[in-house]
Amino acid sequence: MTSLTTAPKRSVPGYNMETMAIISGKATLCALTASLLFVGCRFGDFSEDAGPIDAAVIDATPPVPDAPPPDAEPPDAGVPDAAGPDATPADAGPHPIDPLGDGLSTLIGDSTAGLVNGPREFALLSNPVNVLVGPTGDIFVADFGNNAIRQVTPNGDTTTLVRQPGFNRPFGMVFLPNGDFYVQTDRSSLDAETGALWKVDLVTGIATIEVDDSGRWRGLASLSDGRIAIGDATDFTVKIYDPVLQTITPLAGEAGVAGFGNGIGAAAQFNTIRDIVVTSDDNIYVSDAPNNRIRHVTLAGVVTTVAGNGLAASTDGVAIASSVNRPSGLALDGDDVLYIGEFNSGMIRKLSGNVLTTVAGSLPGFSDNVDPLLGQLFSAEGLDFVAPNLYSSDGNAGGDENFHRVRRIVIDAPE
């Protein structure tokens, strides 16, 4: 196990109970006035670190009777031991969900938060923040509000892979070329706000600490040699972790300083890094959220900007002159075409060559539609792609809104 000595804890942008009423009002106003040129209607850079649903895992098989209501905790409550079955979701029965089809559809989840396993019409989540397609095609979901990693088949059958004491607030996930599975949590193994990296046994579901007090390594991606590229959300840097040597090497960004600047190594600057992906030739894309830009990093530490003009908007065109609105989740297809989930608008963009276009989403909200551009997502915080499907987490962005789903977009192959 590796433990890091970190700088004094900095405050992390987020929410608290005093601001939630204001945020709710703003969100309502934004929903009424948003357009395809949607500008800035999220009010923080992180999913809320609120207390999870204090629920047992429910394995739902029809018919399942309604369960008693949960013992609700205040949203700012501490994280309980995940092993304790203290309550059950208010309704463990089936919920309405349309069949999976073309365009934008719902893989699993509902407007109701919960921790329920089973077929897709029963499965419930609580603020899912990331998705990752595994080697066998199953989709792994960082179920942030439930302190769990869920495993979902392509047809929506859902199980819980990881849920154990000390494993709190999962976000980043990565599979290495040898099949090893690593998960980042925003909390350390002792529930401090200093983060951790875990190695997960896919057979037993046991997570073992790899690096404690690591920082918030929300962006994880595998290099071809088995090392892990890291986007550190609170240190504003890109790093490389070697799981064999257990060493951490800075690559780019001025540690501890939020800013914007291209350059080499520590001469470059990032703001809150929400995700990273690695191309087939080991180049790195970074979602630089508050800077409203997509950055490109080589293994020599050279940082450039490839999309976004700095405005919090969603405009198509030549990438460097167009706008991205708080870029969050990133995914690559087999041709290294980049898909970008926007935290503010719920829209999903595509960067192909030097052209930025929109492939899904309209207004922030929820709606399935055979035309992805007419559908709605609330917050595309995490993406992954396996042809022809692009998967997106669609949680509530840390607010009180009722969005707890994983969505699927069928991407048409170019003609």
Residue 163: closest CA among 1, 2, 55, 46: 55
**Judging by DSSP bridges, how do beta strands 158-162 and 170-175 pair with one another?**
unpaired
| pLDDT of amino acid 73 | 29
pLDDT at 58: 58
Q: Which helix (H) or strand (E) holds 21?
A: helix 17-33
At residue 93, the pLDDT reads: 83
The overall average pLDDT reported for the chain is: 84
Long-range interactions of 253-257: CB distance < 8 A, separation 24+: 253/303, 256/7, 256/10
Determine phi and psi for 265, rounding to 5 degrees. 60, -130
Task: For residue 365, count CB atoms less than 10 angstroms from its CB and return exposed for 0-12, middle for 13-18, buried for 19 or more.
Answer: middle
pLDDT at 123: 98
Choose among 51, 67, 48, 68: nearest CA to 59: 67
Residue 51 confidence class, pLDDT cut points 50, 70, 90: very low
Work out the percent of the chain whose per-residue pLDDT is above 70: 77
The C-alpha atoms of residue 3 and residue 380 are separated, in whole angstroms, by 31
pLDDT tens profile 18-44:
333 333 333 333 333 333 333 344 444
Distance CA 114, CA 95 (A): 12
What's the pLDDT at 235? 96
**What is the identity of the amino acid at 245?**
L
Whether pLDDT at 151 is above 70: yes
Task: List, in order, residues 6 or more apart from 33 with CB less than 8 Å away.
Answer: none
Q: pLDDT grade, residue 92 (50/70/90)? A: low
pLDDT in tens, 308-335: 999 999 999 999 999 999 999 999 999 9
**pLDDT of the residue at 289:** 96
Q: What is the DSSP string of 83-146?
A: T------S--S----PPP-SSEEEEEEESS---EEBSTTT-B-SSEEEEEE-TTS-EEEEEGGG
359, 372 contact by CB (below 8 A): yes
> DSSP label at 373?
G
- Looking at the predicted structure, is the pLDDT value of residue 167 above 70? yes
Average confidence (pLDDT) over 156-160: 98
Mean predicted confidence (pLDDT) in 186-205? 97
How, if at all, do strands 247-252 and 237-242 pair? antiparallel
Mean pLDDT of the region 128-155: 98
This prediction has a pTM of 0.83
CA torsion through residues 108, 186, 85, 161, sign: positive
pLDDT-based confidence at residue 412 (cuts at 50, 70, 90): confident
Which among 266, 303, 267 is positioned nearest to 283, based on CA atoms?
Answer: 303
Query: Which pLDDT score is estimated for 60?
Result: 57
50 has a pLDDT exceeding 50: no
Structural contact between residues 359 and 410, judged by C-beta atoms closer than 8 angstroms: no
Name the nearest CA neighbour of 17 among 56, 71, 73, 65: 73
User: Is the pLDDT score of 12 beyond 50?
Assistant: no
